[in-house]
Amino acid sequence: MIYTEPKWKSFAVTTVDPIFTPEQCQKIIEVGRSCPKEIGETGGIQKGKIDPSIRVSNISFIPFKSLVPMYKLLEEVMLRINKNNFGFEKMGITEIAQYTEYSKNEFYDWHIDSFIDHPNEPPVRKISMSCLLSPENEFEGGDLELFSEGAGVKLKQGQAIFFASFIRHRVKPVTKGNRKSLVMWFGGPPFK
């Protein structure tokens, strides 16, 4: 048997260039702010609870019909990244996007996006995406960290990171300004 390199290269991929222009980011912010605002709940084992020791942020969910071109573009980018890096089967958009704002002292501590308590209920979250909508000079702190402390990702406005939903990650507290982001999850059939 001949050994071949795996199809995937990494479980965290940052887009080289921004996906969205500053004008498109502003449009997403406007739509996100126009949707009903909620207090961010926790995920994982604590899913569905409001716990200010784990998460403090304001969120809203953007209906598909509100930004159809955004959803189409994000699905195209996800499918390309999945094909070149992750290799997950039958991936697609399975949930609406979450618009998130973190103001001073707001954060989301370590968590994963996969629902480990119901792993056999399709579709399974497999890829998470975070796209920075704010200009990076509008806030301080608020670093997205993957895997461990110090493994931060500095995104530019409109740039996104796609990562496996089972990767542990957090958003550190914002120390100044307001960090605005778009979060999405893409799913498929259960892992085999």
Domain assignment of residue 30, given as a range:
12-182
The rounded distance, in Å, linking the Cα atoms of 175 and 103 is 8
Global confidence as pTM: 0.89
Q: What is the pLDDT of residues 164-184, one digit of tens each?
A: 999 999 999 999 999 999 999
Residue 5 lies in a domain: no
20-47 pLDDT, tens digit each: 999 999 999 999 999 999 988 776 545 5
Counts for the chain of helices (H) and strands (E), in that order: 2, 15
Give a yes or no: residue 56 inside a domain: yes
Any domain includes 86: yes
Q: What is the pLDDT of residues 67-77, one digit of tens each?
A: 999 999 999 99
What DSSP designation does 82 have? I
44 lies in some domain = yes
The whole-angstrom separation of Cα 21 and Cα 95 is 23
CA distances from 38 to 27, 57, 66, 176 (A): 20, 9, 18, 22
Which residue did the predictor score with more confidence, 57 or 153? 57
Residue 129: what are its φ and ψ, rounded to 5°? Answer: -135, 140
Residue-wise pLDDT tens digits, 155-168:
999 999 999 999 99
- Asked if 23 and 157 touch (Cβ cutoff 8 Å), the reply is no
Residue 117 lies in a domain: yes
3 state DSSP class of 22: helix
Q: How far apart are CA 32 and CA 26, in angstroms?
A: 10
Within a domain: 108: yes
Domain count for the chain = 1
Measured from the Cβ of residue 134, the count of other Cβ atoms closer than 10 Å reads 21
Contact present, 10 and 81 (Cβ < 8 Å): no
- Residue 108 CA to residue 42 CA, distance in Å, equals 8
163 assigned to some structural domain: yes
CATH code, domain with 58: 2.60.120.620
Domain assignment present for 147: yes
Q: Do 76 and 155 form a contact (C-beta atoms < 8 A)?
A: no
Per-residue pLDDT, 47: 57
**pLDDT, tens only, 104-125:** 999 999 988 886 555 556 688 9
